[in-house]
Structure 1
Amino acid sequence: MAVTYTWTCLLLWISISTQTTIPDAHVTCVFLEECVLPCSFQTDRDEVIRWLKQEVPVHSFQRGGEWSEHEQYAGRTSLFTHLVSRGNASLHLSGCGPRDRGIYKCHVRTSAGVHEAHVIVRVEAPVRALSLELSRLSGYEEVKCTTRHVYPAPHVAWATDPPTAQPLRPITRKLADRQGLYAVESRLRRLNSQSELTYICTVISSYGSQTWTASLREREINGVEGKDLTIPCHAPPYQPKSSVSWSFTNHNEEALILTYDSQSQLSFASAPWEACARLDVLRVPLGDGSLQLVNPVSLEHTGTYTCVYSSPQNTHTEHTGVNISAVTGERMRSQEESRWWIFAVVIAVLALALTGILGYLKVRGDQSKPRKRPEETSEMKPMKGKSQSTLTVECMCSTRPDHQLTVVSRTDHKKV
């Protein structure tokens, strides 16, 4: 009895010592693409390889050949048979789908012992696109964020810029199709109390490997026919070095205006817009992609202008409704009259200024002339009345000191 127990313990020790196990490997397989589950071992003779998924046989190999052991994997699994002799027992899996996720075990038996390895497989259908648009089908305005053909179902988060104290209550629906892929649609009612908000939708993959962001803003501006108009568009701070595209929608017909490539830093305008639409390419890298309309026309340029900043996994859209007012005959007459009034006011101000300058110069000139002394005046001004008398003063002066000054006066009366 003791001998049997001893031999049993010895065989168990030999089995454990000849079996090697490595830490689990984590592999993320992309939906409908090929994937490799790694497994390596110490080479020896008479290799027998078996792959199992949660103890269910998947694929087997021995010197006679290889084969799939489950209908779910029929025609989709294989080994790199030319590398088995080098210790490579990795499993090649094609057409990956959500049903392929799980824990796989690689079991290799050779003449030297047994080798086992575990591989944790995740399957992901990554986000390929994210759209954000304004919807008015529900009786009120909603901002709708949508992504499709995603697995697993991602997380959706909303925010506004600037932040608002009013709570956001989005409604998010996640529906799976026959392949197990999700269509995600999240709706947020627009806050009418704050019209200048930017709505931001962020989608994060379930495994945290991806983060997509889309933002949207709307505004309305007015312009006058024949007067240059700047339509603003500014990139958010989290989206540097983005490409820009401008489009125009009028009567449900969309037309491309121009595009700007962030790599080449060059812009291209479509033929109808070359003469009337401009973009400052020096300011676009700084986040200013505003469009300038040159000499706009009411019927041709009234509509919705859409500016889109795009970079990998990020988009920012601004819709601007532009109304170009036509210049009517009455408005033209009023503008002409206003111009004449401005011209008259300018002329009047210049005349007053010139009069003031001349008056100042005259007063200054009179003050600079010398005044006559009273004793040099020999004739007095006549007095008003019925008759006018003239007083004539005759002075006879002598230079001799002993002579006295004799003054003779004569008054002449003349009748007026």
Structure 2
Amino acid sequence: MVQKQSWVAAYLLVIRILLTDANGATEVSCVFMERCILPCSFQIGNETIIWWFKTEGDKLVHLFNYNKEQLEHQDQCFTNRTKLFTDLICRGNASLQLTGVEIQDEGKYNCITHTTRENQESFVNLNINAPVNEVKIDQVDNRITCWSEGIYPKPQLTWSTSPPSNITFLNTTTVQQTKQLLYNISSSLMFSDGLYNVLFICTISTGRTRNRATLRKISLISDPSTGVTIPCTLSSTSLTNFTLLWRFNQCQTIVNQTGMNVTYSVSDEWRQKVVNVSKSGSLMLKDLSAKQEGMYTCKLSNAEEMHTTHIHLRLIKGGHSSTVVIITTVCVSVLIAFAALLICRIYRKWRGKGSALNFNYFV
């Protein structure tokens, strides 16, 4: 038996010297800890032998000989993780199944087949991908933090705002690698007080996958006697597959909704205050008091992105929203400008005709 194995090893060495990488390598991308198929095909014939190697370190991944899989000399990194589709070998299929793929599995693989008809060789480049599944974002005081975990390859994190801002923000980003060779990334952004209605966008990408989270801070003034609608802004995006969560002062859950086609649930302590949740996610409240003043947080998330809106609510009897104040200011300014123009024209008319004022001017 030992003599037979030595003959096989020597024969394999000759084959590997004679064969060349004529067709290049097939690119295969697989998800971390999932099942992966490395393709290999050959011209069918008798006395089939199939070798799979990982070229880095020349590790034996799998061997099929004498019509069965022979794994006595398999590298221990691949123990109980590989198999061939033995029922398809007779059709020229030598593809390898690799389960529970790890970052260490990434690299170049070599498939060698031998039959009485011919010898063949092919290569597969295996790329491992641990996608950016979830990006989280939160705010504490004047610091916004964005983070994600369990990513591969090494991710990049970028900040942006909408609308674009000329303000320079102080940010620090850290990247750490785990024992599994995955990456965790985190970044914090500092901003000044009084910065409202700016959408902060945190994007994390690897070149293969990307995901993002957004945060917006809004100031809202309302009259408690009229009730209030607190917006959960997410423009031009379908909310069908989003999960909705409303919280008060980061500690009380107000509303939870697992999908926009699912009835929302209201916590017991807010049941008498919540009127409705709109299709856009806005929260409608009633019978508010000073106890309900504070920070309201809306989180919309799905498998691809997360959007967070912080709304600081102040209750003032007879209060108006900032939008009304702006409109009123514009209207008053226009009226004042028109009055000034009118007085100027009257004065010029009066000077042209002496001290007698022609009241027909107003007709």
- TM-score, normalized by length of structure 2? 0.73
* Alignment match of 1:91 (pick from 90, 96, 102): 96
- 2 CA distance for matches of 1:132 and 1:20? 48
Equivalent position of 1:259 in the other structure = 257
Equivalent position of 2:234 in the other structure = 235
Residue 177 of structure 1 and its aligned partner are, at CA, apart by 1.1
Q: Tell which has more relative contact order, 1 or 2 (C-alpha 8 A, sep 6+).
A: 2
| Aligned 1:123-272 pairs, distance under 5 A | 123-136=128-141, 141-168=142-169, 170-192=171-193, 194-206=195-207, 208=208, 210-237=209-236, 239-242=237-240, 243=242, 245-250=244-249, 253-259=251-257, 261-262=259-260, 264=261, 266-272=263-269
Equivalent position of 2:81 in the other structure = 76
Asked if 2 retains the 8 angstrom alpha-carbon contact of 1:201 and 1:213, the reply is yes
Where 1:83 maps in the other structure, the secondary structure is helix
Where 1:179 maps in the other structure, the secondary structure is coil
Residue 310 of structure 1 and its aligned partner are, at CA, apart by 2.4
Equivalent position of 1:340 in the other structure = none
Where 2:255 maps in the other structure, the secondary structure is strand
- 1 CA distance for matches of 2:258 and 2:270? 14
Equivalent position of 2:351 in the other structure = none
Residue 74 of structure 1 and its aligned partner are, at CA, apart by 2.2
Equivalent position of 2:304 in the other structure = 313
Residue 19 of structure 1 and its aligned partner are, at CA, apart by 8.6
Task: Structure 1: give runs of 5+ residues left out of the alignment.
Answer: 1-14, 328-416
Residue 305 of structure 1 and its aligned partner are, at CA, apart by 1.6
- 1 CA distance for matches of 2:264 and 2:290? 26
User: What does the per-residue CA deviation read over 1:171-195, in whole Å, with 9 as the maximum and x for residues that have no partner?
Assistant: 2211001111111011222254743
Where 2:50 maps in the other structure, the secondary structure is strand
**Structure 1 pair 128–20 and aligned structure 2 pair: CA distance change class (3 A):** closer
- 2 CA distance for matches of 1:291 and 1:245? 11
| Aligned 1:399-414 pairs, distance under 5 A | none
Which deviates the most, 60-69 or 19-28? 19-28
Equivalent position of 1:303 in the other structure = 294
**Structure 1 pair 205–278 and aligned structure 2 pair: CA distance change class (3 A):** farther
Q: Look at both structures and tell me which one has the larger radius of gyration over its CA atoms.
A: 1
Equivalent position of 2:274 in the other structure = 277
**Structure 1 pair 303–142 and aligned structure 2 pair: CA distance change class (3 A):** closer
- 1 CA distance for matches of 2:211 and 2:138? 15
- 1 CA distance for matches of 2:181 and 2:197? 39
- TM-score, normalized by length of structure 1? 0.64
Asked if 1 retains the 8 angstrom alpha-carbon contact of 2:133 and 2:211, the reply is no
Asked if 1 retains the 8 angstrom alpha-carbon contact of 2:148 and 2:185, the reply is yes
Residue 23 of structure 1 and its aligned partner are, at CA, apart by 4.7
Q: Percent identity at matched positions?
A: 27
- 2 CA distance for matches of 1:69 and 1:244? 47
Equivalent position of 2:282 in the other structure = 290
- 2 CA distance for matches of 1:258 and 1:96? 36
Asked if 2 retains the 8 angstrom alpha-carbon contact of 1:134 and 1:143, the reply is yes
User: What does the per-residue CA deviation read over 1:59-83, in whole Å, with 9 as the maximum and x for residues that have no partner?
Assistant: 2110153215212222222212222
- 1 CA distance for matches of 2:172 and 2:61? 42
User: What does the per-residue CA deviation read over 1:362-389, in whole Å, with 9 as the maximum and x for residues that have no partner?
Assistant: xxxxxxxxxxxxxxxxxxxxxxxxxxxx
**One-letter identity of the residue aligned with 1:310:** S
| Aligned 1:2-41 pairs, distance under 5 A | 22-41=23-42
**One-letter identity of the residue aligned with 1:292:** M
Runs of 4+ aligned residues of structure 1 deviating over 6 Å after TM superposition are: none
* Alignment match of 2:70 (pick from 62, 66, 84): 66
Residue 107 of structure 1 and its aligned partner are, at CA, apart by 0.4
Residue 168 of structure 1 and its aligned partner are, at CA, apart by 4.6
Asked if 2 retains the 8 angstrom alpha-carbon contact of 1:53 and 1:105, the reply is yes
**One-letter identity of the residue aligned with 2:310:** H
* Alignment match of 1:116 (pick from 103, 108, 121): 121
Equivalent position of 1:105 in the other structure = 110
- 2 CA distance for matches of 1:218 and 1:233? 11
| CA RMSD between the two structures | 2.8
Equivalent position of 1:362 in the other structure = none
